């Protein structure tokens, strides 16, 4: 297993420094079991990721069904203007088009969450991913932007702030709808974590998957689940996101490509939403592939609790009729640390029947 890439590692192994004659061994996943753990199928018919209109009169039922059966869905009529998304996408492209030497000036350092760097889960895998990212936490990215564009940094910061102001209410709305689908009342939702904004934390990760001469030998983003409540994903219209569909009546477990539907966001159910729902909602395993001719850009908005807030199954979902809680309460930070050691076995270790003498 490799450790988290340092700024020096990023410079040496960064895809933009390749001459594209061949795939270096540091990025070659040809023989790794994580690359093809299951058969990929086409996203058509009954095996297609649900697309949900937020104006649908049956919205709550459809969201509940998608959360339980898929753990991922697309939303349309989300209320965020295409003009803002176009400007947002242009700024993401502008960022990653900078020379790598410039981007490394704002590289993440030890103990910081913001800035340029590799994917956080890279430490869990033996190979580098065909990926570069830029993380924006609760703080404004103005300091990094001033370094990247000394003479014109404000346009980047302004669009980021506009996007955050638009996407944060959407995160709350989706969480509200999900809790309604679980049977909670408005009063119970108001008294939950979602009813107290001081308990909520969010972040945005801008992602780039450069074009690759031999995409079958590399991984854009290795299979994983997100850790918070929900992730809302914007993309630039280049295919590459895949979700692992669980074994069902249609067939065995398989990878399904998320379709490109204009004017939609992808919504992923994350680990702590799975815990909050007492296992009713599916935390979806997903990965990213890369393209031979086109760069794929995306922006993941992560909505979750403050890192020190305990999250356990909702009391409304446990009891004599519903059954006991499946997981013990945990903080986001606790789960992140567990995943850094146990990866996809972390949640299993938090199940109550595995507590032993704790």
Give the residue numbers marked as catalytic: 296
Nearest CA to 118 among 236, 4, 1, 27?
A: 4
Residue 290 CA to residue 32 CA, distance in Å, equals 16
Q: Which residues contact 6 (CB under 8 A, 6 or more apart)?
A: none
Nearest CA to 134 among 336, 339, 303, 299?
A: 299
Nearest CA to 212 among 90, 126, 295?
A: 295
Q: What is the DSSP letter of 247?
A: P
**HSE-up (13 A, CA, CB side) for residue 209:** 26
Q: 213, 205 in Cβ contact below 8 A?
A: no
Taking CA atoms, 36 is separated from 49, 126, 255, 306, 321, in Å, by 20, 15, 9, 35, 41
Q: Which long-range contacts (CB under 8 A, 24 or more apart) does 108-112 make?
A: 108/7, 108/135, 109/7
Q: Which stretches within the chain are classed as H helix?
A: 7-13, 59-69, 82-96, 100-103, 142-148, 154-181, 186-190, 271-276, 332-342, 346-349
Residue 205 CA to residue 284 CA, distance in Å, equals 18
Residue 189 CA to residue 46 CA, distance in Å, equals 33
Residue 203 CA to residue 160 CA, distance in Å, equals 11
Assign 5 to helix, strand or coil.
coil
């Amino acid at each position: 297993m490799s450790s988290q890439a340092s700024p020096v590692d990023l410079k040496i192994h960064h895809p933009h420094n390749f001459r594209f004659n061949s795939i270096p061994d540091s990025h070659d996943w040809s023989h790794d079991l994580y690359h093809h753990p299951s058969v990929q199928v086409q996203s058509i018919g009954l095996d297609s990721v649900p697309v949900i209109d937020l104006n649908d009169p049956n919205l709550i039922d459809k969201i509940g069904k998608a959360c339980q059966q898929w753990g991922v869905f697309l939303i349309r009529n989300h209320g965020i203007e295409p003009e803002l998304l176009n400007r947002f996408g242009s700024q993401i492209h502008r960022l990653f088009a900078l020379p790598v030497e410039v981007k490394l000036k704002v590289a993440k350092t030890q103990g910081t969450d913001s800035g340029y760097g590799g994917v956080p889960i890279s430490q869990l895998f033996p190979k580098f991913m065909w990926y570069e990212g830029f993380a924006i936490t609760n703080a404004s990215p103005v300091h990094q932007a001033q370094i990247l564009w000394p003479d014109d940094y404000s346009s980047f910061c302004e669009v980021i702030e506009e996007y955050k102001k638009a996407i944060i209410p959407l995160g709350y709305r989706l969480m509200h709808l999900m809790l309604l689908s679980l049977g909670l009342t408005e009063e119970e939702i108001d008294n939950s974590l979602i009813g107290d904004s001081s308990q909520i934390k969010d972040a945005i990760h801008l992602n780039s998957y450069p074009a690759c001469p031999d995409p079958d030998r590399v991984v854009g983003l290795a299979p994983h689940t997100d850790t918070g409540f929900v992730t809302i994903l914007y993309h630039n219209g280049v295919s590459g996101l895949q979700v692992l569909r669980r074994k069902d009546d249609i067939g065995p477990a398989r990878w399904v490509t998320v379709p490109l539907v204009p004017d939609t966001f992808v919504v992923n159910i994350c680990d702590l939403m799975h815990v909050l729902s007492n296992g009713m909602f599916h935390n979806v395993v997903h990965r990213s592939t890369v393209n031979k001719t086109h760069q794929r850009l995306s922006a993941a908005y992560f909505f979750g609790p403050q890192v020190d807030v305990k999250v356990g199954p909702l009391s409304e979902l446990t009891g004599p009729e519903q059954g006991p809680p499946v997981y013990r309460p945990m903080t986001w930070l606790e789960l992140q640390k567990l995943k850094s050691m146990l990866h996809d076995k972390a949640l299993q270790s938090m199940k109550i029947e595995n507590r032993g003498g704790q």
